[in-house]
Amino acid sequence: MGTAVRGTGLNARLLDTITEDRSDGRCWLLTPARARSAVLFYERAGWTAATHPTPSGAEHAAFLGPRHPARALAPRPL
């Protein structure tokens, strides 16, 4: 999505809509680690990073949804 929707809450509502029917809370997503604005958005939306990219940031970051039962097991940032 372009910058026209930034700050409107649309992306957060979309995430909520596509994950709300998961009664067990098991939702996850991948995003390019270099997409810093996406990584920051998911963190602000309550998603927990389950992987930590290498310093080069050349791979993907995995996130666990806000109600995912394994959130507490995710490694903490270095």
Assess contact for 41 and 63: CB atoms under 8 A. Answer: no
**pLDDT tens, residue by residue, 14-44:** 888 888 888 888 999 999 988 888 889 999 9
Q: What is the mean pLDDT of the chain?
A: 83
pTM given for the model? 0.76
Q: Where in the chain are the domains?
A: 27-78
Please give the pLDDT value at position 74: 80
Chain centre distance of CA 72: 15
Q: What φ, ψ does residue 71 adopt, rounded to 5°? A: -55, -40
Assess contact for 67 and 16: CB atoms under 8 A. Answer: no
